Amino acid sequence: MSAPATGLPPRSAIDKAHTWNDTSVFTNRAAWDHAAHDVISLLPGVQAFKGRLSEGPAVLADFMDAADHVTRLVEKVYVYAGMFGAVDTTDQEASAMVSRATGLYGQVAAATAFSRPEMLAIGRDTLDRWMSDEPRLAIYRHFVDDLFRLQKYVRSADVEEVLGMAADPFRGAGTVHEKLSEADIKYAPGTDSAGAHHEVAQGTIGTILDSPDRELRRTGWNNYMDGYLAFKNTFAATYSTALKQDVFRARVRGYPSSLEASLFANNIPVSVFHSLIDTFKANLPTWHKYWAIKRRAMGLETIHTYDIWAPVLPTSPDVSYAQAVDWICEGMAPLGDEYVRALRKGCLEDRWVDIYPNQGKAQGAFSDGSYDTHPFIMMSYDGSLGAMSTLAHELGHSMHSYLTRKTQPAIYGDYSLFVAEVASNFNQALTRARLMRTVDDRAFQIALIQEAMDNFHRYFFIMPTLARFELEMHERVERGQGVTAQDMNALMADLYAEGYGSEMTLDRERDGITWATFGHLYANFYVFQYATGISAAHALAERILDGVPGAAEKYVEFLSLGSSVYPLDALKHAGVDMTGPQAVETTFGVLARYVDRLDELTR
């Protein structure tokens, strides 16, 4: 008779000290409800400016202040609801709060939609004069520069209002994916070599795939992917809807393609996307070499997808949360005492992190927050080196947000997706490099390289592969072709076959459904920015590790720029040019060093 399935604790059993600091945002849900009502009550005051912005600089400044106030409030409302919804997707009240907050976002977008067409109508020369005459407008110079850069894609006030109102229902496809994936699919348990059952869930699948027990990995991965395959037509219909929405928005604004619509918003030429993909394809032999080394090191005749995350050695280091914080702080020491103090305090005192897994917790990890909250982190820490690395990654995001909001006004208090993944992967790179230098134990180094390769696999293999998939899917929709689950699965399997090469044994059906497991695809051309992000991160980390004078200071300045400059310019300030392939090549060089070192350590 097999052993009973292992289970996760309910949310109510998690020690509050290990949960995110919700009371720092709102004292309770009643206070949140009051704030949500306040958002509604503020909208008429914002809409009262419609048709009046041309009256003069004082009126425009008053509107910008009012819009800033309601935007910051709705962001707090959304963060509070979103965190509760993520830490327990079965919390029906939290789900309703998320839906309500999303609707409020749409209402704010619609209420302020008139502002850009009206400011464009005022004219650049007049706005330049007003920004000189009215001190409250002085901070908006970059905002105005960007507004006129985007001018040809801004529609009339009426059309902009409709697009603002459409923001809420257009999130529906992603929401359906999220609920189906994280709340409704019931995955069959995995079974280990002793016959014990292990619960397969978003909060456990990573731990299962890290297991030295191959039978548990095989059954856990199979059952996880089979959960998606059972709903492949629903996932395909949902993603097809999202693709059509992307194409619709691009065409309404007059962009030549969905790709250009996504990249132009951040002043990034499409050549950056294509350069990444070309460089990735040229370096696929490095990945093929890794699969061969791992297969040999593990003593396997054939290597399968479920073996990718498996430890090379049967045991892996246990890393407590406190130890992880210490190691990350040591790794980030080159950035200075102020950076390290803020990071440590956020982890151990201010409760930035919702640490441990529980029933209903969403998959993966993320950093979230608003201009007026802590930069919160949701994750499922399991005591592994991988969990430590995930914590370092999310703390990179959180420290980026912390320094940006500390330095910039609210209008520039965020940053684009293109730079978001730089800070996160940079933290991992520095922490990993520190541990490689200071811990010379062979088993530890093998485990650390394994963690590095797992991270590279996600950001430097899966994400570029998904980017290729996403581009082809968008282009098919733009050509008017239909896309089915069969089409999507076949394309995904073909791309994996090319990426895996002859060493990896492909499961076309289960590998083919990989696209459905990534909610990232519901953010238009998001995934390629993971690959550019890890490239810029390692290029910048190499500068600091090589002792380039001023490199650390420039990097911290980059973290403080927010959206006050364009992403490519911010990265150039830090010391890396992403308009060419050099950073991607540098990062493949780092990857190759890890592969060679693993080869040495396992012979």
- When pLDDT is cut at 50, 70 and 90, the band that residue 99 belongs to is very high
* pLDDT value for 330: 98
List, for residues 62-79, the tens digit of each pLDDT value. 999 999 999 999 999 999
Question: Tens digit of pLDDT for each residue in 307-354?
Answer: 999 989 888 899 999 999 999 999 999 999 999 999 999 999 999 999
- Work out the mean pLDDT of the chain and round it to a whole number: 94
- Gap between the Cα atoms of 361 and 87, Å rounded: 5
Mean pLDDT of the 81-89 span: 95
Residues with active-site annotation: 394
pLDDT of residue 24: 98
CATH architecture of 11-170: Up-down Bundle (1.20)
pLDDT, tens digit, 9 for 90 and up, residues 490-499? 999 999 999 9
pLDDT tens figures, 204-246: 898 899 899 999 999 999 999 999 999 999 999 999 999 999 9
User: How many whole angstroms separate alpha carbon 304 and alpha carbon 88?
Assistant: 32
Helices (H), 210-320: 214-229, 232-253, 258-264, 270-282, 284-297
Q: Is the pLDDT of residue 3 over 50?
A: no
pLDDT of residue 594: 96
Mean per-residue pLDDT, 581-594: 96
Q: Does domain 202-317+426-603 sit in CATH 3.50.50.60? A: no
**What's the rounded mean pLDDT across residues 107-121?**
93
For 383, the token pair is 């005591």
pLDDT digits (tens, 9 = 90+) for 406-459: 999 999 999 998 999 999 999 999 999 999 999 999 999 999 999 999 999 999
What is the rounded average pLDDT of the residues 367-382? 96
Domain boundaries, the chain: 11-170, 202-317+426-603
Q: Tell me how far CA of residue 176 lies from CA of 173, 181, 204, 237, 301, in angstroms.
A: 5, 8, 22, 10, 40
Percent of residues, the chain, with pLDDT higher than 90:
86
pTM over cut 0.85:
yes
At 115-156, the pLDDT tens digits run 999 999 999 999 999 999 999 999 999 999 999 998 888 888
Band of residue 515 on the pLDDT scale cut at 50, 70, 90: very high
Q: Which residue has the higher pLDDT, 184 or 30?
A: 30
Full 3-state SS string of 326-387: HHHHHHCHHHCHHHHHHHHHHHHCCCCEECCCCCCCCCCCEEECCCCCCCEEECCCCCCHHH
